[in-house]
Amino acid sequence: MALIGPGFGLFHDFDDMDIDDMFGLGGPSGRGGGGGGNAFRSQSFHGSSPSHGLGGGGKGGGLGGPVRQDPPIEHDLFLTLEEVLRGCVKRMKITRRVPNPDGKGSQKKEDKVLTINVRPGWKAGTKVTFQREGDHNSSTIPADIVFMIKDKPHPVFKRDGVDLKYTAKVSLKEALCGCKVNVPTLSGELIPLRLSEVVRPTTQRRIPGHGLPHAKDTAKRGDIVVTFDIKFPDSLNEPTRQILWDCLP
């Protein structure tokens, strides 16, 4: 799928590559690739970019005096919870305009691949900035390309920081009499959770260490927080209603 960056060209989301075996617990070095130099300046692990002094209003030397920088080009980069758990590599292909080498002032289109090393535990709001990778021309400084990390909705879990929220469906009988619930994990494992006490709509149970890793210390992980959706019967016949009336406090 191609997404158009305003005033820039095309973004193509290339293939993902698992990096579990390429990096240790600390993940990659925190640098982005994409053509050498200082293309990848900074990453923030707390939802804001420490590269705030890089863009907008940059000045260029020379006889022409101050030269403005084109405004940053921002693009959302959605990650699955599985990618946040393990880390991954994202390759984003951009198409930009650059001067022709003929010296006549004409321009041509150029494709370039920007590589983002996603570390385990990255939060939504993390910004990855590639300096001056926008269109190149003689009148302005090229724009910075900024990718904003966002969580892709998951069919099973909801993210809450490093914790994962899971809703287990139980019948009224199971809620009152006890049962066993198999709780899924991002790794595909099922963890049995035994419920011997009465389960209320406000009941929560935690499964420690099966959530998402902490960005600063990937050896630490959050929990799975289990809540319960209790299925009530649509109707009761009179004998059943009388039995429940006599049995329940």
**Domain of 99: which CATH number?**
2.60.260.20
pLDDT at 25 over 50: no
Tokens encoding 69 = 């920088």
* 177 and 142 inside one domain: no
Domain hosting 53: range is 2-151
Both 146 and 162 in a single domain? no
Average pLDDT of the chain to the nearest whole number: 79
CB of 53 closer than 8 Å to CB of 135: no
User: Of the residues 102, 121, 151, which one is the last residue of a structural domain?
Assistant: 151
| Phi, psi values for residue 73, rounded to 5° | -105, 115
Do 181 and 125 belong to one domain? no
- What would the pLDDT profile of 132-165 be if each residue is shown by its tens digit? 998 888 788 999 999 999 999 999 999 999 999 9
Report whether 220 contacts 214 (CB < 8 A).
yes
Same domain, 133 and 167: no
Run of H or E including 177? helix 172-177
Number of residues assigned to the chain: 249
Q: How far apart, in whole angstroms, are the C-alpha atoms of residue 34 and residue 13? A: 14
pTM of the model: 0.69
Rounded to a whole number of angstroms, the CA Rg of the chain reads 26
Query: Is 134 in the same domain as 51?
Result: yes
Do 80 and 144 reside in the same domain of the chain?
Answer: yes
Residues 25 and 141 grouped into a single domain? yes
Are 177 and 227 members of one domain?
yes
192 and 207 housed in the same domain:
yes
Q: Single out the residue in 118, 151, 184 at which a domain terminates.
A: 151
DSSP code for 141: B
Residue type, 235: S
Q: Looking at 98, 124, 151, which one is the last position of a domain?
A: 151
Q: Which of 11-15, 53-57, 65-69, 166-170 has the lowest mean pLDDT?
A: 53-57
